[in-house]
A and B are shown apart, each in its own frame.
Chain A
Amino acid sequence: MAHVMKCSQCGATAVINMPQHRLKLCAEHLVPWVAKMVQKAIERYELFTPDERILVAVSGGKDSLALWDILEQLGYQTEGLHIHLGIDDEGYSDASLAKTAAFAQERGLLLHVVNVREIYGQSIVEVARGRRGGRTCAVCGLVKRHIMNEMAHEDGYDAIATGHNLDDEAAVLLMNTLHWERRFLSKQGPLLPSIHPRLARKVKPLVLLYERETAAYAIVRGIDYVMQECPYAVGASSIRAKGILNQLERHSPGTKVQFYLGFLRAREDGWLPSDRGLDGSVAACPRCGQPTTADGLCAFCRLWEGVR
């Protein structure tokens, strides 16, 4: 006979078991626990303060919508930014925008929407296809970073918050370690400070939470998020890395959190160099004004050469 899994705090039926914390929680106690973990990350890594204006990058997925919901509950000053990437496969981008807009409208939150195809003339898929060796995921990252920095600079936000969780970070760390990507290892973390007036501070308030916990939070809070995976993320190396880490986690609960937080502590203790600066000399891109280490146009403006 199966036993009833009970909430460690009140004895009601638990909805989630988190063996790495030796904690089982019911729906009622999960919500404040998740918010507490986010507040802990904000304070521990000095991500931002209640006086600052935060631009939350919202894709329509569980993590970013949960993040926006939590930051609002905690009383931070937030506005959302959704970037419509023009991924038409399976109606992905339209569905993502619809879920994000509905979330914001239901809660009376301010959402800014940037439509890549309308502004730049092509979707990220189309512009990647037109480039030799252009991979959609790399182009997507480049375009999103540029738009987020531009908006944060023009509208005076203090930081850009993204929904990266501990699984995302641990997967990237695993890949960076396997390839000894020293430059990335020196920078990866919950806080990327602003090292130039045109580059906003980037923060990841969900870094103390497993992906499973943010998903559970989203379900318990009734957040209607996009469940379909980005068609271009299928088979992504980050998903394979997550699979490997979850196998280890199953046999040894806490492996992921120890791996990631141990890395951050090791770097703080000087085991790894901590590099927050830009590589090489920096100049303003003659077209968009954002800093670049390239001679001439920045990578973003070069991408759109011949399109606009």
Chain B
Amino acid sequence: MSEATIRYHDRTWQMRSGMTVRDAMKKLELDPQTVLAVRNKKLVNEETLLEPGDEIRLVNVISGG
């Protein structure tokens, strides 16, 4: 398996390993200011390289109110 799974809200995407979390955010047209990346319940920075089999959850940080 050479791909990583990216989850955002209820949707999932397969992304090539070796790219960064920031690349994945850009591909999904997400502003890195407005999302954080979580792998195995741990926060990871946007320069983190996607490893084969990784499951990364992107968490929206913007709320209304």
Chains A and B form a bound pair: yes
Q: Which residues of chain A have a CB within 8 Å of any CB of chain B? A: 2-5, 13-17, 24, 27, 61-63, 167-168, 211-212, 215-216, 219-220, 222, 227, 229-230, 233-234, 236, 238-239, 242-243, 246-247, 249-250
Asked whether, in the complex, the Cβ of B34 is within 8 Å of the Cβ of A233, the reply is: no
Neighbouring A residues of B45 by C-beta, 8 Å: 5, 13-17, 24
Neighbouring B residues of A62 by C-beta, 8 Å: 61, 63
The residue of chain B having its C-beta at the shortest distance from the C-beta of A222 within the complex is B41
Measured CA separation A3–B45 after assembly (Å): 11
Decide if B27 is an interface residue (CB 8 Å cutoff). no
The residue of chain B having its C-beta at the shortest distance from the C-beta of A249 within the complex is B33
Measured CA separation A119–B41 after assembly (Å): 38
> When A and B form their complex, which 10 residue pairs have the shortest distance between CB atoms, in order from nearest?
A233-B64, A236-B64, A215-B61, A15-B43, A246-B33, A5-B45, A5-B47, A239-B64, A219-B43, A212-B61
Measured CA separation A13–B44 after assembly (Å): 9
Given contacts A230-B65, A239-B62, contact A219 B38 (CB under 8 A): yes
Q: How far is the CB of B42 from chain A (nearest CB, A)?
A: 7
Given contacts A215-B36, A219-B38, contact A233 B63 (CB under 8 A): yes
Count contacts on B: residues with CB < 8 A to the other chain: 23
State the majority secondary structure of interface residues on B: loop
Given contacts A27-B42, A230-B65, contact A219 B31 (CB under 8 A): no
Q: Which residues B20-60 have CB closer than 8 A to chain A?
A: 20, 31-34, 36, 38, 41-49, 59-60
Measured CA separation A17–B20 after assembly (Å): 15
Q: How far is the CB of B43 from chain A (nearest CB, A)?
A: 4
The residue of chain A having its C-beta at the shortest distance from the C-beta of B19 within the complex is A2
Asked whether, in the complex, the Cβ of A216 is within 8 Å of the Cβ of B64, the reply is: no
Neighbouring A residues of B38 by C-beta, 8 Å: 219
Neighbouring B residues of A63 by C-beta, 8 Å: 63
Neighbouring B residues of A16 by C-beta, 8 Å: 36, 43, 45
